[in-house]
Structure 1
Amino acid sequence: MQCLDEYVSFAEHLADLVRPVLIEAYETGFDYEKKGDGSPVTEIDKRIEAILRKEILVHYPEHGILGEEFGSQGLDKDFIWVIDPIDGTRSFTAGLPTFGSLIALCYLEKPVLGIIEAPIARLRAVGVTGRPTLCNGKPVRVRDCLMLEQAVLSDWTNNAQKPDEPGAERLKNAVNWSVRDGGCIGYISLARGFIDLCIDGNLDAYDFCALVPVIEGAGGVITDWNGLPLKLSSGPLVVAAGSVVCHEQAMQLLQKNLTSEI
């Protein structure tokens, strides 16, 4: 991990490449098609991932890559870059600003660096293991909510996979109020201390790896619904909280219906 500063600088360079592409596409429009699972994909998703993959291979050919659109290569490597070119493609295609790009670096499967680049919201969160999370270059911190009835929740809305709907509904009914499908912006808001909980039920590695260092570096907790740390092979159930107490209370409600398979 001696080159961590170098990797952070490179990851921010990747985010710099993403930003103008997303802004231009959002302002000028684009076409999209549906994947086999019914989710949308755009030419912009593919273009961004191709740009990032090319840049990574030029600078770090010895590293592996996992991306949403073009699969994986070198997953046996110690360092693996994990890319979600557009997190929140549904919002993106609908012209809504709640989307961003996720860039992460995993070392021995553990996420050690994560960037959430949300250009329309004018936000960039950078999380690095052992360091405070920065949002637009300034340190941010979660708020210490100790009671679920005072908490604000960001919940997911994708109906394709809801493995434990009763648990999610119990949690939604227990909190003060909730927002639907905040996506990666929700996790930035948690890190900034605006909300207290985020839950998701259908995430792949490229959806959550970048979130881990961002939330942890802001003082929060992020795990799967069994309370296990997230790594490259984790998923699809993710819960993040601003405080340990709030996380534990949320877990009690989410776990009631979990089977041994989850």
Structure 2
Amino acid sequence: MSVVDFARFVDDLATQSGGAILPFFRAAFSTEDKARGGGAFDPVTEADRAGETVMRRLIKQTFPGHGILGEEFGTEGADAEYVWVLDPIDGTRGFIAGLPLWGTLIGLTRHGVPCYGLMNQPFTGERFSGDGKSAQYRGPHGSRRLHARRKADLKDAVMATTDPRLFAEGPDRDAYGRVEAAVRLARYGTDCYAYCMLAAGQIDLVVETGLKPYDIVAMIPVIEGAGGVVTTWDGGPAAGGGAIVAAGDPRLHEAALKLLRP
């Protein structure tokens, strides 16, 4: 099956999962803390589980030989040629607060390498997708190709991170602080939307830490398809998660790496 065929299937996954998730948004629903009081609040909702359940069922029905890695229900068939990497609600804290800065992340890897990804925001009706070679936006105002913005200097850059307090005190927080001090503007609380805005040329730099594969795999083909760069802080592949830096311009990415790991 070609990437084009996968794209059609991913659109169906997005539509079906969005239908399961959206009724919970800005409504009453139960929330649990996966950290169970043992660390930073790590929420999971009925909506998270409903969205992933729908996607897993469709994948198993259509591609029974494929693997699945999902945030809520773990991993099946990790050694398969194709593995789907799912985060039904990336930005659960925003979801709980009724803010539309969240999205469903649907990624596909082949032999462990991200080959297609989509972020679906069913409340705003926006979808950001890519295959590593090109990236597209579809939404209420039409469709267009995505192109990351070219800015070489940190002093001119707009950056984003989910929350500076997520960086552990010490070297990691100091490293993040050096980057934030060097940029023009920093914004918080954007989760997966930050990567979409980077691909769309609105944000120049995203710096995160502690990510899981399901937090980033879907966004890698979108960022790269728009002409951006995404790696770990030491310049390695981003698909495994961890400390991540993404930039719209390779020169900006290199400048950020020098501050993150001087």
Q: Which TM-score applies when normalising by structure 1? A: 0.92
Unmatched tracts of structure 2, length 5 or more: none
CA distance in structure 1 between the aligned counterparts of 2:167 and 2:248, rounded to whole angstroms: 25
Q: Distance in 2 between matches of 1:62 and 1:158?
A: 40
Q: Residue 140 of structure 1 aligns to which amino acid in structure 2?
A: L
Secondary structure of residue in 1 paired with 2:207: strand
Does residue 1:176 correspond to 2:151, yes or no?
no
1:34 is aligned to: 33
Q: State the 1:158 CA deviation.
A: 6.6
Matched residues in 1 for 2:179 and 2:132: separation? 29
Match of 1:188 among 164, 183, 196: 196
Q: Distance in 1 between matches of 2:79 and 2:258?
A: 36
Quick one: which amino acid aligns to residue 172 of structure 1? Answer: E
Query: Which residue of the partner structure matches residue 260 of structure 1?
Result: none
Partner of 1:225: 233
Decide whether the 8 Å contact of 1:117 with 1:124 is kept in 2: yes
What residue number does 1:167 align with? 175
C-alpha distance 53-60 of structure 1, shift in aligned 2 (>3 A)? same
Say if 2:111 is the partner of 1:105: no
**Within 5 A, what are the aligned runs for 1:108-187?**
108-130=111-133, 132-136=134-138, 137-157=143-163, 159-162=165-168, 164-187=172-195
Q: Does residue 7 of the first structure (1) align with residue 6 of the second (2)?
A: yes
- State the partner residue of 2:15: 16
Moved more, 198-207 or 116-125: 116-125
CA contact (8 A) 1:118 1:185 kept: no
Q: How far off its partner does 1:160 sit?
A: 4.9
Query: 1:142, 1:239 → 2: CA distance?
Result: 15
TM superposition shift of 1:30: 1.4
Instruction: Give the Å deviation of 1:117.
Output: 0.7
8 Å CA contact retained: 2:18, 2:51:
no
Residue in 2 that maps onto 1:216: 224
Equivalent position SS for 2:261: helix
Q: Which one of the candidate residues 84, 88, 98 is aligned to 1:85?
A: 88
Deviation at 1:155? Answer: 1.5
RMSD: 1.4
What is the distance in 2 between the residues matched to 1:121 and 1:152?
23
Gaps of 5+ in 1: 257-262
Q: Counterparts of 1:71 and 1:30 in 2: how far apart (Å)?
A: 23
> What letter matches 2:67 in structure 1?
G
User: Any residues of structure 2 matched to 1:240-251 within 5 Å, and which?
Assistant: 240-251=246-257
Query: Cα deviations across residues 177-208 of structure 1 (Å, max 9, x unaligned)?
Result: 11012111111111110110011101000000
Q: Report what 1:203 is aligned to.
A: 211
Shift of 1:7: 1.1
CA distance, structure 2, for counterparts of residue 160 and residue 217 of structure 1: 28
Name the CA distance, whole Å, in 2 between partners of 1:147 and 1:16.
39
| Paired amino acid for 2:253 | H
For the residue of structure 1 that corresponds to 2:86, the secondary structure is: strand
Alignment length, in residue pairs? 252
Cα displacement (A) at 1:161: 5.0
